[in-house]
Amino acid sequence: MMATIEPQKSLLSYLKWALISTVVGLLLGALLGWQTTGTVGGMLTIFFICAVLAVLEISLSFDNAIVNANKLKDMTPVWQHRFLTWGIIIAVFGMRIVFPLLIVVIAANVGPIDAMIMAAAQPEEYARIMHEAHLPIAAFGGTFLMMVALSYFFDHEKEIHWVGWLESRMANYATIKGVEVALVLAIMLGFSRLLVGAEQDLFLRSAIYGLLTFLLVEVLGGFLDRSQETTKAAAQGGLGAFLYLEVLDASFSFDGVIGAFALSQNLFVIAIGLGIGAMYVRSMTIMLVERGTLAEYRYLEHGAFYAILVLSVIMYFQTLVHIPEVITGLGGAALIGVSLWSSIRWNRHERAEAAMM
């Protein structure tokens, strides 16, 4: 009996704050729906939208949790705690509230207060500006995520391969300095030919900024983390990784924040729904780190980075055609699910061989 109860208690302990945020968030969503519509139907509609947005964020960000866990396991406990506290505040309030406001401030050339008023009083106009800003955001975020994924596969020290025939070749070519940067630049230039006029120029400039941001974060992160060796402030040792994870989370959030406007034009409804989802991502990250799940399931991390690579390509194509966010979420979840299944099969095979010996 105890063997079946203990895992449930452990899982609930990881999800405690996520479940609390779900209850609080959905209640706030229902209250917001009542205040804005004054009807039970309107209240239930907003309640449902908040729930759908939370599920959307979880499905889009599960691979984010795996990558976060991979980076966190090498950070100092102090910086792990800082990322899981300060980082989640930045993720929820920064990317889900401040970031959409900042886009409107820049695109509409208005002040932050005016942008907030527009979000509350003119949600249609606010949503229109957000959608118009989708191309540069998709180009920037897609390029950054593409570099994240390719940097994982183009690693000559990488020994475990899931898709062996492909990953082994990529690991061999990693000895060529800057090969992943050259590949991304080639993809950028090739894809830009599908766009015309001002859109082509805007895509290229935004994509280049995404590439430069990745390289800058890598250089800055390496510099800050190496400084731990020459300073007594051990807490500084995780600052580079902290910055990397924050930029990575921002890149994952681009598509979700923009796509959320397809379900609601209300900034506060979007913030509630995506904020709930972000708390689940935090809980999953903690669980993956503390349980050592990445070590137990050897191909799970591979599936996450393949999902990131697919997401980056989807973000590129979203500059041409609309791709429903449910496809993006299900595609990433499917890749992670297949990698998990492959890991379980490999574990069973290893146990069977050990038993025969």
Helices marked H in the chain? 2-37, 40-72, 77-82, 88-89, 99-108, 112-121, 123-132, 134-153, 164-173, 179-192, 197-226, 239-260, 267-291, 293-296, 300-317, 325-356
Residue 325's pLDDT is 67
Domain limits, the chain: 12-350
Q: Which of 56, 74, 63, 93 is nearest to 284 (CA)?
A: 63
Helix/strand/coil for 1: coil
Q: Which of 253, 252, 226, 257 is nearest to 239 (CA)?
A: 226
CB atoms under 10 Å from CB of 155, counted, come to: 14
Residue 225's pLDDT is 55
pLDDT tens over the chain, length 357 residues = 434 434 444 677 878 888 898 899 899 988 988 888 888 888 888 888 888 788 777 766 677 778 778 777 777 778 778 887 787 777 666 776 777 777 777 766 778 788 888 877 787 787 787 777 788 888 888 898 899 889 889 988 888 889 888 998 998 888 888 899 999 999 999 999 999 888 999 999 989 988 998 888 777 766 655 554 444 344 444 677 777 777 777 766 666 666 666 667 677 888 888 888 888 888 888 888 777 777 788 888 888 888 888 888 988 998 888 877 667 767 777 888 898 899 999 988 888 887 776
- Rounded distance, CA 128 to CA 259, Å? 12
∠ Cα 100 106 112 (to 5°): 65
Q: Taking the CA of residue 13 as centre, how many other CA atoms within 13 Å lie in the half-sphere pointing to its CB?
A: 9
Residue 204's pLDDT is 93
| Model pLDDT for residues 260-278, shown as the tens digit of each residue | 666 676 778 888 888 888 8
- Rounded distance, CA 254 to CA 61, Å? 11
Residue 261's pLDDT is 66
Question: Amino acid identity of 61?
Answer: S
Residue 233's pLDDT is 42
| Model pLDDT for residues 232-267, shown as the tens digit of each residue | 344 444 677 777 777 777 766 666 666 666 667 677
**Helices 134-153, 179-192: inter-axial angle, 10-degree rounding:** 150
Q: Could you tell me if 63 and 291 are in contact, meaning their C-beta atoms sit under 8 angstroms apart?
A: no
Residue 174's pLDDT is 86
Q: Could you tell me if 307 and 336 are in contact, meaning their C-beta atoms sit under 8 angstroms apart?
A: yes
Main-chain phi, psi angles of 280, to 5 degrees: -70, -35
User: Please, which residues have CB within 8 angstroms of residue 28's CB and are 6 or more apart in sequence?
Assistant: 272
Residue 266, Ramachandran bin (φ over 0: left; ψ between -120 and 50: alpha; else beta): beta
